[in-house]
Amino acid sequence: MPEGDTVFRTARRLEDALVGSEVTRFDLRVPQAATVDLTGQSVVSSGSRGKHLLLRIGDSTLHSHLRMDGAWLVYRPGEKWRHPAFKVRAIVGTAQREAVGIDLVEIEVVPTRDEEQLIGHLGPDPLAPDWDAAEAVRRLSADRRSIHVALLDQRNVAGFGNEYAAELLFLRGVLPTTPTPEVDAAALIELGVRTIRANRDRRHRTFTGVDRPGQGTWVYGRAGRPCRRCGTLIRRGELGADPTRERVTFWCPVCQR
């Protein structure tokens, strides 16, 4: 699932492949941006803020959001794609590499000076150079909702998604339904920062420290299976800011009280 660490690695991959080169192919296959053409301009930088990816070309920024299934893949010019063409939403090519965005939900091109209109609402990002732990703790602590909902709100902290929320709450022994004011927000944020920074440079995300298929999570995706610590069956539920934004939650009823 694309979360902050996934988007960070994607931005770094695009930076290695494209930055400093001239765009020779620019194709956005979404109605709102289909006529935009940045061919002939140089790729200036590639970065991320939470789950948002920002590819800066000339004086413009190509903004995209991976949501649940999106990805950017890098190919050599002429190399056969490993996915069907109907999934492609964006192509940014240079003489050396071709970046292909598939299943992207949000695609926009704005003047780089206007980036804040797209990401200015986001909270501090633990993977950003300007990470502000105190501000993240302040925002999270001020949220009166359940801790699972508050942790997923990108206005509090940018980058933590559903998998991180489930795993961090397990590691802190906190039920997802716990009101946020009852949680040690500073300790939770500190754990989240250490975890996402460790996963940033790993090929496969892990919360258990085990980098083997099916062994990287404590509770996420493990409903009905025994807790790795106590053996109690993991439970599954749903929480959200409102009924239209409910997300699946996982927890151990013994380890999280």
Instruction: Give me the active site residues, please.
Output: 2-3, 51, 247
> CA 40 to CA 22: how far, in whole Å?
6
Q: Judge whether 168 and 196 are in contact, CB under 8 Å.
A: no
Q: Which helix (H) or strand (E) holds 16?
A: helix 4-18
Q: Which residue has the tokens 């920024």?
A: 61
Helix segments in 201-228, DSSP class H: none
Burial class (CB in 10 A: 0-12, 13-18, 19+), 218: buried
**Cα separation, 47 vs 56, whole angstroms:** 8
Question: DSSP string of 60-88?
Answer: EEEEEE-TTT-EEEEE-TTPPPSS-GGGE
Q: How is residue 1 written in tokens?
A: 């699932």
The two three-digit tokens of residue 56, written as one number: 């800066």
H or E stretch at 106? strand 106-111
